[in-house]
Structure 1
Amino acid sequence: MALADELKALREFRCEEGKCVLSVYLNTDRADSEQQKGEWKIRLKNGLKRHEEYLEASENKDQLKSFRKLRKKVENEVNGNQSQLQKSVVIFASDVDDLWSVHYMQLPVETSFHWDEAPVLDQLTKLQQDFPKSGIVLPNMDEVKILETDLGEIQDTRIYSFDPDTGNWNYKQGMGAEDKIMSGATHTDKYDQRFQENLNRFYKDMAGNIERMKQDRNWEALYLVGEADPVNTLESQLRVPVDKSVKKNLNNVDTSKVLEHVFN
């Protein structure tokens, strides 16, 4: 389940008999000058060790036993999935109700560890304010891809392909968040010429779809990503503001790289 969808349940989660929730915010951003050599490994180990030492000193055997179990689970999760690391990892874990929420995020966080009666959500609340539900549109010659994001995570992907016989945009099934954005252009020079001549009209129809999605799906921000000509043409047809345009062809990169260019 997407982290944005879990937030409501996490806000309501609370232990009735003392501290039982481990909240982990771990910065793994390799672009950070302090992360060039995998320093997150040391911070993860030391942060969890420090909390375990506090519990040992408190002589609360039940909490110590629970914490040690969760610590091992968290360390195994992160160390075993290093290939998935992006800019941060956020984890909420508890023996109560088997709470286990893990998210590898494209947004940076400040490394911190918490052992409390409830999940510590301050950083996520701030991130949701800064990175609300948004639409990222990648216009191409005969395809337009739309990524819906919340908290920097992809919630949905929609692909519209242009049918030269009918002059309409047709929706086709999207792809996974980790898939590459691949161009499907296999058209002829004659088709290219027809599309270029009618670009404004074709994109006007697509602009209407985007405007409806923005309203129906409550997007608070809209981004365009692609080569200058299709981005500029589509933006000129939109009757809603564009928050940011990235004039770069990202059709053959992982979607995580698209998010990186948009949110950096």
Structure 2
Amino acid sequence: MSLAKQLQQLKGQSCHEGYLTIYLRTDQTSNDQQRGEWKIRLKNGLKKIEEYIPSENEENKKAYKKIKSKAIEAIYSLQTELPKSLVLIASPNGDFYLRKLQIPVENEFFWEKQPRTEQLERLNKEYPIEGIIYIQKEDIFMIETSLGEVNKERLYDLEIDKEDWKQYDGVAASERMARRANHRDKYEQRFEANQQRAYKDLACLIQKEAEKNKWSTIYLVGETGLVTEFEKHLMFPTVKKVDKNYKNFSSKEIVGQVVVS
């Protein structure tokens, strides 16, 4: 389910006892996180909420402690595979939402009648659905991304003998990208002669994909000459060019370099 749909559901929920909302940065590559500082922030944030619950409201405090324990257990269960950030929204009535994010969040803790979704809404706008097109002479690698995550990946491999593009999706795309041949010298002249037509055909396919899935931006990545040539055939409102070689990068790493960094 897309984040936009999840946000619609969350915004319509309420609980008289309260909703616990946690935005927690857990990035282990960050200098301030390598000694497990996220545990301290989690402990202090939850403790501060409890201090603000009136002592006479025993029922509310009991409900909070119950959901707090579940939240701690769920977050600690992920400590061997922590993403950059976590968002947790839960209530005593059984609602429980936990999302791992590959983008940073601001540490925030709430205990209110409704989920606090403002930061999620902001992130959804900052990291909309986008496309990354990594252009090489005979291979073009497409990544659809949102929220710093890989939604879809596809490799278009130019079969020069047939003068057509062959499509590989998902894992097959990544595997072929990793082991593809780097040089096809005997086809060099033939490729140069048919480059414009090949790029025009593929640009048309990608354009349709972008419009169908409502991409906000297309990033064209690769050598300047190849990117410039491909861009000529692409009619899209927002195109950004990145002159960099990501030959040995995974899809996740490319997204991290192009969109998140």
How many residue pairs match? The answer is: 258
**Separation in 2, partners of 1:45, 1:217:** 40
Structure 2 gaps, min length 5: none
Looking at structure 2, the residues matched to 13 and 203 of structure 1 have their Cα atoms a distance apart, in angstroms, of 48
1:203-242 per-residue CA deviation (whole Å, 9 max, x = no partner) reads: 1211111211222221111112334443333223322245
In the alignment, structure 1 residue 221 sits paired with structure 2 residue 202: no
Runs of 5+ consecutive residues of structure 1 not aligned to the other structure: none
In the TM superposition, residue 47 of structure 1 has moved relative to its aligned partner by: 0.6
Q: Answer yes or no: is 1:19 the counterpart of 2:17.
A: yes
Q: Say what the alpha-carbon RMSD is for the aligned residues.
A: 2.8
In the alignment, what sits opposite 2:121?
125
Deviation at 1:170, TM superposition (A): 2.7
After superposition, the C-alpha distances for 1:107-141 in whole angstroms (9 at most, x for unaligned) are 21110011112211111111222222211222233
Q: TM-score, normalised by structure 2?
A: 0.84
How far, CA to CA, are the matches of 2:34 and 2:48 in structure 1? 24
CA gap 1:248/1:180 in 2 versus in 1, 3 angstroms: farther
Distance change (3 Å), C-alpha of 1:172 and 1:64: same
**Equivalent position amino acid for 2:147 in 1:** L
CA distance in 1, matches of 2:225, 2:103: 29
Distance 1:184 1:57, change over 3 A: same
Q: Compute the displacement of 1:56 (Å).
A: 6.9
In 1, distance between residues paired with 2:251 and 2:64? 35
Residues 4 and 151 in structure 1, CA contact (< 8 A), matched pair in contact too: no
Aligned-residue identity in percent: 36
Deviations 1:66-98 (A, max 9, x none): 3333323322333332343343211212232x3
1:90 aligns with 2:90: no
Question: 1:228, 1:30 → 2: CA distance?
Answer: 34
Q: Aligned ranges for residues 1-264 of structure 1 at < 5 Å? A: 1-15=1-15, 18-30=16-28, 34-55=32-53, 57-61=55-59, 63-96=60-93, 98-175=94-171, 182-186=177-181, 188-263=184-259, 264=261
Counterpart secondary structure, 2:178: coil
Rounded to whole Å, the distance in 1 between the matches of 2:237 and 2:84 is: 28
Alpha-carbon contact 1:246-1:261 (below 8 Å) kept: no
- Runs (4 or more) in structure 1 with deviation over 6 Å come to none
